[in-house]
Amino acid sequence: MPAKNKLRLLTRGWFADAVSGNEIDPCLWIFSAKENTSFNDNARHLFRYVLKHCPEISPRFVINDDKKRQELSGIYGEEFFIETLTVKGMKEALRGGVWFTSAGLPVYGPFVGKGRYIVNLWHGLPLKKIALQDPNLGRASRLYFKTIFSGNYSYVLTSASELIPVMARSLGVAEEQVRVWGQPRCDVLIPDREGLSENRLQKIILYAPTFRDHVPTRFFPFDDFDLTEWNHFLEKEKILLLLSLHPQEMSLAEPYLGERMLTAEQALEKGILTSAVEPFRLHSWDAAEYLPCMDLLITDYSSIYLDYLLLNRPMIFLPYDQKEYEEKRGMNFPYEDVTPGPKPRTMAELMECIRMALSGEDGFEEQRVRVRNRFHEVKGSSSEIIVREMLERIRGKDRN
């Protein structure tokens, strides 16, 4: 008997969905990401793990974009992708005994968590204030969040014990609902070498500035910045700089782009970046998947650097508006304590910091290890841990 049939037999008649009245299938696991149109982040990585390693599970990913769903169906198989814009699609999702989301829910409603497990994988570590702790979230949005999201979650995941109270406050759940099971996207961030690549003809730097809600980002926030001099520096040092930007700021980057500076999406289209875990390219940027390609990371307040710590490679910070940003958004931790890298204030300083970092002499290795150990307690595959824990709960629920 196939593994999934055995599990269904063990849990037959588990629950009926409170909304649709359909019997819930504990072997049907529904995945969703941002706006139910994205195929990225923790949901994507866990979905692929389940698809490859869990024959007893039927995974389905919600993609409410016809063109993208068709493209993904051609790669993975049509049966693995569903939509939730029609009644038929919603009923299919409501049959799922486990929902995994990294942003939003497959189907929205105040009682959709009844009779199933809903696991919020989230989409990063909370360096800055998020969700209910974000001071910019309005009163109506807070009420909506608590009713639709907080009230439905079974578990919220994170990567370290210190983050449990932060995630509980941010997502509006009890601390015992927050589990240190890690982030599936970090499973690919296993160091493949000590130090930097030696055989590559050029070094690759990823610059990932944070999107600011109220003002445009200053990409190179230095009074002495000179684009001609900067391009000469990149050429001389054989550096390719990739910009990872919010879609709303793509046009602002155009004056800087050229042979030595590209957006991450342009690098994918040109075949510059390669993935060790994906045999094909969707021309969609999933940062975690390509972080192993990067020799250096530059950012300001993006939690992407907390993932990058797992590679033990150098990073540079450009917090040019730190005071203003902290006043308007807020941080969960003292910025200086958790940012293990130099913070140059001029273009000349930035270029020198880059030279030192790429030569392995930035002097922040011990600090990186300290911060990494603080925020990453999970050893081994997070995806494997999550699947094991959920299967144990499903089987235990049936015994009870």
pLDDT, residue 289, reads: 83
Task: Write the secondary structure of the chain as one string of H (helix), E (strand) and C (coil).
Answer: CCHHHHHHHHCCCCEECCCCCCEEEEEEEEEECHHHCCCCHHHHHHHHHHHHHCCCCEEEEECCCHHHHHHHHHHHCHHHEECCCCHHHHHHHHCEEEEEECCCCCCCCCCCCCCCEEEECCCCCCCECCHHHCCCCCHHHHHHHHHHHHCCCCEEEECCHHHHHHHHHHHCCCHHHEEECCCHHHHHCCCCCCCCCCCCCCEEEEEECCCCCCCCCCCCCCCCCCHHHHHHHHHHCCEEEEECCCHHHCHHHHHHCCCCEEEHHHHHHCCCCCCCCCCCCCCCCCHHHHHHHCCEEEECCCCHHHHHHHHCCCEEECCCCHHHHHHHCCECCCHHHCCCCCCCCCHHHHHHHHHHHHCCCCCCHHHHHHHHHHHCCCCCCHHHHHHHHHHHHHHHHHHC
Cα 333 off chain centre by: 20
Range of the domain at 285: 203-375
Q: Are 155 and 222 within one domain?
A: no
Q: Does 212 reside within a domain?
A: yes
Q: How far apart are the first and last CA of the chain?
A: 24
Tokens of 10: 């063990």
How would you classify residue 162: left for phi > 0, otherwise alpha for psi between -120 and 50, otherwise beta? alpha
pLDDT in tens, 177-234: 999 999 999 998 865 444 444 446 689 999 999 999 889 999 999 999 999 999 999 9
Least confident of 10-19, 49-58, 293-302, 312-321: 10-19
Q: Are 126 and 222 within one domain?
A: no
Comparing 7 with 337, which gets the higher pLDDT?
337
pLDDT in tens, 6-27: 454 444 444 456 555 678 999 9
Q: Are 153 and 121 within one domain?
A: yes
Q: Are 287 and 383 within one domain?
A: no
Q: Does 195 reside within a domain?
A: no
How far is residue 87's CA from residue 92's CA, in Å, rounded to a whole number? Answer: 9
Q: Are 260 and 332 within one domain?
A: yes
pLDDT in tens, 38-76: 999 999 999 999 999 999 999 999 999 999 999 999 999
Q: Does 188 reside within a domain?
A: no
Q: Does 350 reside within a domain?
A: yes
pLDDT, residue 12, reads: 45
Asked if the model's pLDDT at residue 318 lies above 50, the reply is yes
Q: What's the chain's length in residues?
A: 400
Question: Could you tell me the CATH number of the domain that includes residue 353?
Answer: 3.40.50.12580
How far is residue 272's CA from residue 290's CA, in Å, rounded to a whole number? Answer: 11
Q: Are 53 and 40 within one domain?
A: yes
Q: Does 189 reside within a domain?
A: no
Q: Are 339 and 391 within one domain?
A: no
Percent of the chain with pLDDT over 70: 88
pLDDT, residue 290, reads: 86
At a CB cut-off of 8 Å and minimum separation 6, what does 8 contact? Answer: 25, 26, 27
Q: Are 334 and 392 within one domain?
A: no
Other C-beta atoms lying within 10 Å of the C-beta of residue 106: 26
In sequence order, what are the beta bridge partners of 205? 241, 296
Task: Name, of 198-207, 270-279, 361-370, the range with top average pLDDT.
Answer: 361-370
Q: Does 197 reside within a domain?
A: no
Q: Does 198 reside within a domain?
A: no
How much is the average pLDDT of 276-296? 74
pLDDT in tens, 147-180: 999 999 999 999 999 999 999 999 999 999 999 9
Residue written as tokens 């009713």?
Answer: 147
CA-based R_g, the chain, Å: 22
Least confident of 167-171, 223-227, 276-280, 357-361: 276-280
Q: Are 354 and 389 within one domain?
A: no
How far is residue 121's CA from residue 155's CA, in Å, rounded to a whole number? Answer: 9
Q: Does 192 reside within a domain?
A: no
Tally the domains of the chain: 2
Question: Could you tell me the CATH number of the domain that includes residue 9?
Answer: 3.40.50.11820
pTM score, whole prediction? 0.90
How far is residue 256's CA from residue 130's CA, in Å, rounded to a whole number? Answer: 31
Q: Are 22 and 155 within one domain?
A: yes
Q: Are 170 and 67 within one domain?
A: yes
How far is residue 135's CA from residue 138's CA, in Å, rounded to a whole number? Answer: 8
Mean pLDDT over each residue of the chain, to the nearest integer: 90
Comparing 190 with 400, which gets the higher pLDDT?
190
How far is residue 243's CA from residue 287's CA, in Å, rounded to a whole number? Answer: 11
At a CB cut-off of 8 Å and minimum separation 6, what does 342 contact? Answer: 316, 317, 349, 353, 357, 362, 364
Q: Are 238 and 365 within one domain?
A: yes
